[in-house]
Amino acid sequence: MATELHHFINGAKVAGTSGRTLDVFNPNTGEVSARTPLASADEVRSAIASSAAAFPEWASVNPQRRARVMFNFKRLVEDNMNELAELLSAQHGKVVADSKGDVQRGLEVIEFACGIPHLQKGEFTEGAGPGIDMYSMRQPLGVCAGITPFNFPAMIPMWMFGVSIACGNTFVCKPSEKDPSVPLRLAELMMEAGAPAGVLNVINGDKEAVDTLLTDEHVEAISFVGSSAIAEYIYATGAAHGKRVQAMGGAKNHAIIMPDADLDRVVDDLIGAGYGSAGERCMAISVAVPVGKETADRLIEKLIPRVESLKVGLSTDDEADYGPMVTAEQRDKVAGWIDRGVEEGASLLVDGRGFELQGYEGGFFIGGSLFDNVTPDMDIYKEEIFGPVLSVVRAETFEEAAKLPSEHQYGNGVSIFTRDGDAARSFAANVNVGMVGINVPIPVPLAYHSFGGWKRSSFGGTNQHGMEGVRFYTKVKTVTSRWPTGVKEGSSFVIPTMK
């Protein structure tokens, strides 16, 4: 029997009242496991009102005490790691080990946020002028909101609300309706950690919920991760309503493989980065660019047996390389991209279409696919596939290879594999992409740096977490002060300067 899910508002589970729901599936079996309530605008506004009411008191809590709540939350998430990972796998489909990585990468941002007493400090200048001191303060914004994707239902919500709440804001999270149970559980743990009711609310919904968050006057800032088309809409609509917006979009991450690279290591990295989590990662390597015919031929020779031997299994299978996709629709969409690649003339060397797991024929499984001879004019190169499909684009020279990610519409991540330090340094400095890996296949920065792409991979110009996150979730107030010293001066009618 399907579980009826809920919202989490003002510190308590709240049943949906709109009458609209969406099925949540067990991707291993294809069966409906739960139903998500889709909030009406009024339900969303009740969550916003709860956060607005909680904001003044929470903003007045000193940073050290806010940090203690974050420390408590970190411990509780660690204590409940197995439960969270199993819940995540049951709705998303990624294997449990990968789900634990999802939770852990979110926890690393929580660890960063525990340093908020230092991170939120302003600046001070003594004697900026005669008897004048000048200082700045970083103050919270108010009610902030996050709209998070299905592929990282633990990590990305924690990326957002961890920094925001630590800075003194209150937060409304609208998770993906495909796998919302982990964000709901995280909200319960935040209350258990000592955050007052209303500091973190979770509201489930679709476009009606999103549009309410984007237009409500009480919401000060919006953070989003998802497809580029929706990211652009989020940015344009939120900005038009006077909100701060950071909106992360799609990706087409390249791996440049130089002739001097260790190909055995490269193949290991491509298999993990291209096919892990069924390719449902915005930082997945989906394009391999070997430089030179010999490099390309050797790479293909090594890749084919590795892709053919990928073990696709249940999300609970410890030996599986990856599990099912999140929905049948997502699986069919990926299969359609493979169809398109064949139509466009790419060489399909390994075909994952039609894969079925014995005994679980209703599950949303698809095998790994490998294309060779993909060219930049093909749709399978231009667009994000978001599945276990790796495309090989051959380049004759380093310069030709480097142009591909720089000229692509997306600019999220890129990697180069080489032993040549000069080539790597030049590439990192000049490539038109926001995150670069040098012999690192998934260049996701650690929590104390920041995450964000360029071009159509990001709208709003502000990255996630790190000091960029602190700056996004705070506003700066600068104070110029002068105390009477007994010196009398006449009136001045000109703007003060430091002559």
Query: Which pLDDT score is estimated for 168?
Result: 98
pLDDT digits (tens, 9 = 90+) for 326-356: 999 999 999 999 999 999 999 999 999 999 9
* Mean pLDDT confidence for 448-475: 96
CB 364 within 8 A of CB 313: no
Residue 425 dihedral angles phi and psi, to the nearest 5°: -65, -45
CB 370 within 8 A of CB 392: yes
Per-residue pLDDT at 140 exceeds 70: yes
The closest of 197, 218, 202, 229 to 147, measured between CA atoms, is 202
Q: How many residues does the chain have?
A: 499
Q: Which residue has the tokens 């294809």?
A: 30
CB 342 within 8 A of CB 348: yes
Per-residue pLDDT at 161 exceeds 60: yes
Per-residue pLDDT at 485 exceeds 80: no
* Mean pLDDT confidence for 418-440: 97
Token pair belonging to 79: 């204590």
CA dihedral 370, 375, 378, 379 (to 10 degrees): 50
The closest of 393, 420, 402 to 296, measured between CA atoms, is 393
Residue 329 CB neighbour total at 10 angstroms: 11
The closest of 120, 123, 202, 201 to 166, measured between CA atoms, is 120
Residue 333 CB neighbour total at 10 angstroms: 14
Confidence of residue 414 (pLDDT cuts 50, 70, 90): very high
Confidence of residue 487 (pLDDT cuts 50, 70, 90): low
Per-residue pLDDT at 499 exceeds 70: no
Query: Which pLDDT score is estimated for 80?
Result: 98
HSE-CB for 353 with a 13 A CA cutoff: 15
Query: Which pLDDT score is estimated for 133?
Result: 95
* Mean pLDDT confidence for 92-112: 98
The closest of 63, 97, 14, 236 to 165, measured between CA atoms, is 63
Per-residue pLDDT at 486 exceeds 80: no
Query: Which pLDDT score is estimated for 461?
Result: 86
Per-residue pLDDT at 7 exceeds 70: yes
Query: Which pLDDT score is estimated for 122?
Result: 94
Contacts of residue 118, defined as CB under 8 A and 6 or more positions apart, other chains included, come to none
- Partnered with residue 360 across adjacent β-strands are none
Residue 128 CB neighbour total at 10 angstroms: 16
Token pair belonging to 80: 């409940």
Per-residue pLDDT at 491 exceeds 60: yes
The closest of 297, 361, 355, 351 to 322, measured between CA atoms, is 355
Residue 426 CB neighbour total at 10 angstroms: 14
Token pair belonging to 381: 């190169």
173 is catalytic: no
What's the chain's average pLDDT? 96
Q: Give the Cα-Cα-Cα angle 400, 271, 158 (nearest 5 degrees).
A: 100
Query: What DSSP element (H or E) covers 284?
Result: none
Per-residue pLDDT at 310 exceeds 60: yes
* Mean pLDDT confidence for 187-202: 98
Query: Which pLDDT score is estimated for 484?
Result: 80
Least confident interval from 246-255, 354-363, 489-498:
489-498
Q: How far lies 333's CA from each of 206, 326, 327, 385, in Å? A: 20, 12, 10, 8
Residue 451 dihedral angles phi and psi, to the nearest 5°: -110, 130
Domains and CATH numbers, the chain: 3-249+457-479 (3.40.605.10), 253-438 (3.40.309.10)
Per-residue pLDDT at 78 exceeds 60: yes
Confidence of residue 497 (pLDDT cuts 50, 70, 90): confident
In percent, the amount of the chain with pLDDT more than 90 equals 96
pLDDT digits (tens, 9 = 90+) for 201-232: 999 999 999 999 999 999 999 999 999 999 99
Per-residue pLDDT at 394 exceeds 90: yes
Output the 3-class SS for 146-171.
EECCCCCCCHHHHHHHHHHHHCCCEE
Query: Which pLDDT score is estimated for 145?
Result: 98
* Mean pLDDT confidence for 161-186: 98
Of 114, 167, 173, 282, the active-site residue reads: 282
> What would you measure as the largest C-alpha separation in the chain, in angstroms?
91
The whole-model pTM stands at 0.95
* Mean pLDDT confidence for 271-287: 97
In percent, the amount of the chain with pLDDT more than 70 equals 98
Confidence of residue 495 (pLDDT cuts 50, 70, 90): confident
